[in-house]
Amino acid sequence: MTDWSLCSRILPTIVKRVLSMVIPKAGKPDYSVPKAYRMISLLPTLSKTIEHFALVRMTVFAPNCLSTLQFACRKGYSPLDAVHLILEKVHTASNKKLCCSALFLDVQGAFDKVLDQRLAEIMTNNNFPPYLVD
């Protein structure tokens, strides 16, 4: 089913159903604004299985596309590895009597702003199979 779904580029209707719930975030001063709530969505197991196999197939090509400093979504790396890298850089700078600064960004909605055509071009240039690009 997974191979058929990926290669035919069709996700069966039955696995597209989502159960969503709105849950209030704790300690918010004003519950009249949407940001005071969190949306929780549950997907059917089969759609998560198809998603997992697509991810497994894409990770074969991902090392060519990702920076060596990219820790998220990479097998064998964790957020703790990123913290260790930062600490190592700070420690090295401190030993050399240098200052060290960092800027951490959390770009809200960044995934929604991805340029689809540019992403497809990058994937094609890195030999992703067409069924993963389209």
Q: Which residue has the tokens 């389209």?
A: 134
Higher pLDDT, 28 or 109: 28
Alpha helices in 1-134 (DSSP H): 2-8, 45-59, 79-95, 116-125, 130-133
What pLDDT does 59 receive? Answer: 75
**pLDDT grade for 23, boundaries at 50, 70 and 90:** very high
Q: What is the CA radius of gyration of the chain?
A: 20
Summarize the confidence of residues 21-49 as an average pLDDT. 86
Summarize the confidence of residues 41-52 as an average pLDDT. 77
**Range in 15-24, 109-118, 119-128 with the lowest mean pLDDT:** 109-118
- DSSP-derived letter for residue 87 is H
pLDDT digits (tens, 9 = 90+) for 47-94: 777 777 877 777 777 767 777 777 776 778 888 888 899 899 999 999
